Amino acid sequence: MRWRYRLAFHAFAIREQQMYNHFMQMKPQDVVVLIKLLEYGPKRPPYAQIAKELFLSASEVHASVQRAKQAHLLTGPEREETPNPSAMEEFFIHGLKYAFPPQRGELTRGVPTAFGAEPLKSHISAGNEPPPVWPFAKGGTRGYSFAPLYKTVPQAALRDSFLYEMLALIDAIRDGRTRERHIAEEELKVRLRSSHHA
């Protein structure tokens, strides 16, 4: 029995290592594409439409989908390769801050994120502390620079409230203080588990 246990454990360890390797091969824009696919649900539009809404190219979207499939963040063909919420939850909460560490900068004008944007803004009292912002020339808020996961995030988020909230929560998980991270994790779980987007 002991050798069977060891064999099973070894197989599990290999699978976990393979998933970790695939996670590490992902690119920041893949997270943005995954959130958009989650929002679409089972009715995924053509790559060209997704690309237009995210200010990406169709080839970039296609490449993101392929990397997400390899990392098991999308389901298999039997479920039409829709997002895997449980895998996304694990990756977003425990992996993103290591795969894509936050980059802060100087005070600038931009689009609020993390505790400076909803839904955290309603839960966190920042006082006089400047909020983190994605640098954006057309942004209306002054705060400290917080590099978005991808350069087109500000434009895409301002046109899509669900995408904006998800990315703001992810930024709080990546760089927030303990209370901010805890609230952000719970808010993220609610959205990932929502039947509307599953």
How many CB atoms are closer than 10 A to CB 84?
22
Taking CA atoms, 123 is separated from 29, 68, 85, 148, in Å, by 28, 32, 24, 22
Print pLDDT tens along the chain (198 aa).
555 555 544 443 434 444 444 455 799 999 999 999 999 988 889 999 999 999 999 999 999 999 999 999 998 775 567 899 999 999 999 999 999 999 999 999 999 999 999 999 999 887 788 999 999 999 999 999 999 999 999 999 999 999 999 999 999 999 988 999 999 999 999 999 885 554
Report the run of H or E that residue 99 belongs to, with start and end. Answer: helix 96-99
Please name each of the domains of the chain with its CATH number. 2-99 (1.10.10), 104-193 (no CATH)
183 CB neighbour count, 10 Å cutoff: 20
Q: What is the pTM of this model?
A: 0.85
